Structure 1
Amino acid sequence: MEFRASPISPTPAIARILAGAMACMLAIGAAWAKPSDVTDPEAPRSLPADGPVDVRWTDPAQFTEILRSGNRREARRGDWVHDLAEYLRKRASDRLPDGQRLDVTITDIKRAGNYEPGRGIGADSIRFMRDVYPPRITLDFKLVGADGSVIAQGTRELSDIAYLQRGSPLNDSDQLRYEKRLIDDWLRKEFREPAA
């Protein structure tokens, strides 16, 4: 008696599911293979419209973080501008009374710390935190009331020269903790009390 293994062919539904799974794995692999670059000209320059706070930013390639970095390749890595914009929108939304709108344009960012080339093998990708490298964010904003009138507007230059003396923010594993604290400080000062 002879046994033969017959090939098993998947049903059309299973074949579609497998093809979809393979496409997803290829897309994820491509995303992992290419680290994001904050200066990518194809990257968006604003958050999608959602809620009372609109956040956009100018070209990150012109930000101080990139122009004056000790390691521009590392400074461009990631999507930290988008992450800060998302954080700003979420925190500002919590403070606005119903009907008010806030439009913010981030025009410059210098993250806390800096890369110091020449410190040894592999050290050029380490961000050193020193007093001489405080975080700074420059932004333009306009606060509009429910009736359409402009309540406040202007340019703000946020900076924290004592960022290392203030102690570490609560989430000290967040690479943007000092910049997020700048945003929180500005919102507390500019908008005083959170919306009820």
Structure 2
Amino acid sequence: MFIIVPISFVLNFQLWMKLSIGLLGFIYIIYVLLKVENNKFKIRQHINWTQFWQRTAVKFLAIAFITIAYMYVVDYSNLFIVIQSKPLLWATILFVYSVFSVYPQELIYRTFFFQRYESLFRNNALFIMVNAALFSLAHIFFKNTLVMIFTFIGGVLFALTFKKTKSTLLVSIEHAIYGCWLFTVGMGEMLGFPK
């Protein structure tokens, strides 16, 4: 499911078939989380919001600095292009992406993956790397090396956050912040966002 399905999406077959495979896989994962793992999908109590925001802010500042520098050097004409030229599209994409893309991804690659497979690994670092690699592989259909690198790094960050907090909500917020920033800074086109 985490290897064959993403690789198959690179192949040339009809979009409705790809969407059907993805939807069936997601329904299966939700079923397992609800009926097998007995998840209640409630916000965890005793979340250390202050620590979460502090850690996320530090990581975000580093990401913002690197991506602004990259865009300035490599693709200056597109730096902050969408928020300047199409602010309504920018706001719409951020909402749709955060709700309909980020949260499902985190249910699959963090909540489900950790609950089902973490116990199979004795080495935490190896488990984090495998999770990040599979998360990166899920984006292979973009056929873009930079996307694969970004999503691997993101996968490591998200896996570490989930490992520490066990909160789908927190890791989804972090994922949404970084993803929305890439669209904001002008790198959204490589991730399939309209321009």
Q: TM-score scaled to structure 2, two decimals?
A: 0.29
Answer 1 or 2: higher relative contact order, Cα 8 Å, separation at least 6.
Answer: 2
Q: Which has the higher strand share?
A: 1
Q: Which structure dedicates a bigger proportion of its chain to helix? A: 2
